[in-house]
Structure 1
Amino acid sequence: MSWFTKVKTPLEKIAFTRSRVPEGVWSNCGGCKKIIYQNELIREKGVCPKCGHHHRLSAAERIALLIDDGTFVERDTDLVATDPLKFRDSKKYKDRLSAGQKTTGMKDAIIAGSGFIEGRPVEIAALDFSFMGGSMGSVVGEKITRTIERGVEHGVPVIVVSCSGGARMQEGIFSLMQMAKTSSALAELAEKNLPFISVLADPVAGGVTASYAMLGDVIIAEPGALICFAGARVIAQTIKETLPEGFQLAEFLLEHGFLDMVVHRHELKGRIATLLCYMAPHPTCEATPANEPEAPVPTADEKSEQD
C-alpha cells in the first residue's frame, strides 16, 4: 500500500472568446493606408484626418455637402435606363442595372435637382461612382441635360459634380450621344450668360472628361483626383514614351492650365458660393470687392488736417 497517493487535478478548461468588432466601425485610408474610425471619417466628410486623402462620396452625400439643409428638391426621379441593345458581356446589362440599384438604392448613377447654396438658387447634379462606375448612359445624360435646361428656364447657375469612369459601353451609341447632348445644352446656358461650375471628383475619365465636365466656366477639382481621357498605360503604349509621374492628377493638371482651381472638400461650398456671387450676383450675396466702391485716398493736406 502506498503511503502517498498522487491526486491528479484536471486542468480547468478556459473558454477563449474571440473579440468581434462590428463591421463598418473601422476603415482603411486609401492614401496613408492607416486605420480610421468610421465615425471620424464621416465627421470629416470623407477626408482622412491623418493624411487629407479625399475618399469617394455618394451622390446623396455630395448634395448634402453643397446644398443648404432642407432646400434640395430632387427632379426627374422617374427616369430609368432600358436595354435597347440587349447588351451582354459577362453579365446581362439588365442584371448589372439591377445589381447597382440594389447596392446603392438609386435608379441610376446620378441625383439631380434644385436647391440653394448659401441662400441662392441653383440647379445641381451629382454622379455616383458606386453605380456602375458612375458611367454616363442615357439616364445620366438626360438628367444632366434637364438640369442645364432648368437653369436656362429659371435663370439660375448650374453645378455638376462628376465622378465617373466615362460613357456606359453597354448602351453603345445611345451613351456616346449624351456627350453631344450635354455639350449642346451648355452652349444654350452660355448664350444666356448663366454660369456653369464643373466639380471634378476622383475619378473623371473617358466620355465625361471629353464632354460637359471640361466645359465649365470654372472647373474645380478635389485634391488628388484622377482626371483623364484614357488610362496612363494605354497612352504610354500608344506614344511609346515614359509619362511624367502623376500627370493625370488634379495638381498636375492645375499646374498645366487644364483646371482653374483645386479646392479642399471642406472649403468647396464656400468657394462655390463666392464664385457665384462674382459670376451671377444675387441679393443674398454680400458686397464683393468688385462691387464695393474704393475708399478715397487722403491727400497730403487732408492727412495733415487729420493730424
Structure 2
Amino acid sequence: MRGESRIPEGVWQKCRGCGELIFIKELIRNLRVCPRCGFHFPMGAEEYVDLLTEGRSLSTIEDVHRPPYLIAALTQVKRFKVVIAALDPNAEKLPEHLVYRSIALAFESAAENGLPLITITPGGLFMKGEGRDKETIKSIVQMEKSALKFEKTGLMHISILTRPHPTYDFATLIPLGDLV
C-alpha cells in the first residue's frame, strides 16, 4: 500500500511485556531481555548452547542430536570439556521416547567420557502422564538407569531450568543436579 512503511521480517521484535518494538540485534546483545521493561524473551536450545559455549563447535552424540529442538553433544564451556543436553521449549514436537532416550545417552556419554554434564530443560513438556506407549516407558527406564550410572561417577551435573513447572515430568530426575 502507498504511504505505508513495511518492516522487514526478522528485524524487529514486539515486546510481550511493554508492547514496544525492539531492534533484534539490540535484543540479542541484551541476552533476549527487553531493555525497556525487563521482560525475558524465551530462548531456544541452540541459543542457550551457543551462549554457554561461546560458539565453540559441538561433537554431537549420534542418533539423538535433533536441532533446533534437541541438542546433545560434547563441547567446551570456557576451557572445560563437558557433555551438554539442551531441550528447546518446542521439543514436544518430537516423539516423547526420543527425548528421554536422548537425555539417557547424554548421561551415558558423560559417564563414559568422565565429563561433567549440563542439562538445559524447559518446564511443562510431556505432562501427559497417562497413555504412554511401551517405547516411551522403556526410554524413561533407560534414562533413570543412565542417570544413576552417572551419579555413581561423582561427576558434576549442572541443571539449568529455563521455565520450571511444578508438574514437569523431569522434576524427579533431571533437575537433581549438583547445581540447579
- Structure 2 equivalent of residue 195 of structure 1: 156
Q: Is the 8 A contact 1:128 1:164 kept in 2?
A: no
Give yes or no for the alignment of 1:217 onto 2:178: yes
Change in Cα spacing, 1:142 to 1:16, as seen in structure 2 (3 Å) is closer
Distance across 2 between alignment mates of 1:199 and 1:25: 29
Distance across 1 between alignment mates of 2:139 and 2:174: 12
- Structure 2 equivalent of residue 182 of structure 1: 143
- Structure 2 equivalent of residue 208 of structure 1: 170
Q: Greater CA radius of gyration, 1 or 2?
A: 1
TM-superposition CA deviations, 1:245-289 (whole Å, max 9, x none): xxxxxxxxxxxxxxxxxxxxxxxxxxxxxxxxxxxxxxxxxxxxx
Q: Is the 8 A contact 1:123 1:151 kept in 2?
A: yes
**Which structure's residues are more often strand, by fraction?**
2
Question: SS where residue 213 of structure 1 aligns?
Answer: coil
TM-superposition CA deviations, 1:187-216 (whole Å, max 9, x none): 22121111111100025452122x323211
1:156 positional shift = 0.9
Distance across 1 between alignment mates of 2:115 and 2:8: 45
Give yes or no for the alignment of 1:120 onto 2:80: yes
TM-superposition CA deviations, 1:164-205 (whole Å, max 9, x none): 423275982443554443233222212111111110002545
Give yes or no for the alignment of 1:61 onto 2:21: no
Give the letter aligned to residue 182 of structure 1. Answer: M
Distance across 1 between alignment mates of 2:140 and 2:18: 36
Change in Cα spacing, 1:189 to 1:136, as seen in structure 2 (3 Å) is farther
- Structure 2 equivalent of residue 98 of structure 1: none
The number of aligned residues is: 177
Distance across 2 between alignment mates of 1:122 and 1:71: 12
Give the letter aligned to residue 122 of structure 1. Answer: V
Structure of higher RCO (CA pairs closer than 8 Å, 6+ residues apart): 2
- Structure 2 equivalent of residue 149 of structure 1: 108
> What is the correspondence of 1:245-260 to structure 2 with a 5 Å cutoff?
none
The sequence identity of aligned pairs, in percent, is 28
Structure 2 unaligned regions, length at least 5: none
Q: Is the 8 A contact 1:137 1:171 kept in 2?
A: no
Distance across 2 between alignment mates of 1:55 and 1:161: 16
Compute the TM-score of the two structures, normalised by the length of structure 1.
Answer: 0.51
Change in Cα spacing, 1:71 to 1:119, as seen in structure 2 (3 Å) is farther
Distance across 2 between alignment mates of 1:22 and 1:107: 26
Q: Which of 20, 25, 43 lines up with 2:6 in the alignment?
A: 20
TM-superposition CA deviations, 1:224-257 (whole Å, max 9, x none): xxxxxxxxxxxxxxxxxxxxxxxxxxxxxxxxxx
Give yes or no for the alignment of 1:109 onto 2:95: no
1:52 positional shift = 2.6
Q: Is the 8 A contact 1:27 1:37 kept in 2?
A: yes
Q: Considering only aligned residues, what root-mean-square deviation do their CA atoms show, in Å? A: 2.8
Q: Is the 8 A contact 1:157 1:196 kept in 2?
A: yes
Q: Is the 8 A contact 1:41 1:49 kept in 2?
A: yes
Distance across 2 between alignment mates of 1:166 and 1:157: 24
Compute the TM-score of the two structures, normalised by the length of structure 2.
Answer: 0.83
- Structure 2 equivalent of residue 140 of structure 1: 99
Change in Cα spacing, 1:79 to 1:39, as seen in structure 2 (3 Å) is same
Structure 1 unaligned regions, length at least 5: 1-14, 81-105, 220-307
1:107 positional shift = 6.2
Change in Cα spacing, 1:107 to 1:157, as seen in structure 2 (3 Å) is closer
Give the letter aligned to residue 74 of structure 1. Answer: T
Q: Is the 8 A contact 1:136 1:164 kept in 2?
A: no
